[in-house]
Structure 1
Amino acid sequence: MFLVDDILLRPIITIGNVIHSMAIEELYDVEGIRDEIKENRLLYEIGDRSAEEYERRREELETQLDVAREARETLDNRVEVKGQ
């Protein structure tokens, strides 16, 4: 019975873990958010964004960046503890 479980369930669990890790990486992509902040600033400087739109988007991105940093730190600490 355990052999069947290992053969049938382990690949599904592994795929689920990989998908979960990829989703976390994308959701909390600190560098990606920093790039969006730079893009927002550039669009404002070349006149494609109004000052109000720039400020609104900047605040959103800074909040996302703070959340992503905290999440990354928490995830890194969890991985470090599990690795010991």
Structure 2
Amino acid sequence: MFVLDDLLVRPFTSIIGILHSMAIEEMYDVEAITNEMKENQLLYELGDRSPEEYERRKAELETELEIAEEAREQLSGRVEVRG
């Protein structure tokens, strides 16, 4: 019975684990948020973005970055136990 469980269930749980990790990495991509912050700054400097729009987007991105960094820190500290 346990062999059958290992053959049928374990591959799906490992695939789900991989997909979950990939989703978390994409959701909390610190580098992507940092790049958006740079783009926001550049658009403001080029005059394509108003000061109000720049400040609003900057505040949004700073919040996103803070959340992403905290999430990454918590996830990297998590210990995963496998049987």
TM-score normalised by length of structure 2: 0.90
Distance in 2, Cα, partners of 1:70 & 1:41: 24
Distance in 2, Cα, partners of 1:76 & 1:10: 23
Runs of 4+ in structure 1 over 2 Å off: none
List alignment gaps of at least 5 residues for structure 1.
Answer: none
Q: Give per-residue Cα distances to partners, 1:7-62, cap 9 Å, x unaligned.
A: 11111101100000001101111111111100011011111111111111100000
Q: Which has the higher helix share?
A: 1
| RMSD (Å) for aligned C-alpha atoms | 1.4
Number of residue equivalences: 81
Q: What is the 5 A alignment of 1:1-12? A: 1-12=1-12
List alignment gaps of at least 5 residues for structure 2.
Answer: none
Tell me the residue number matched to 2:40.
Answer: 40
TM-score normalised by length of structure 1: 0.89
1:29 is matched by which residue type in structure 2? D
Tell me the residue number matched to 1:54.
Answer: 54
Identity of aligned residues (%): 63
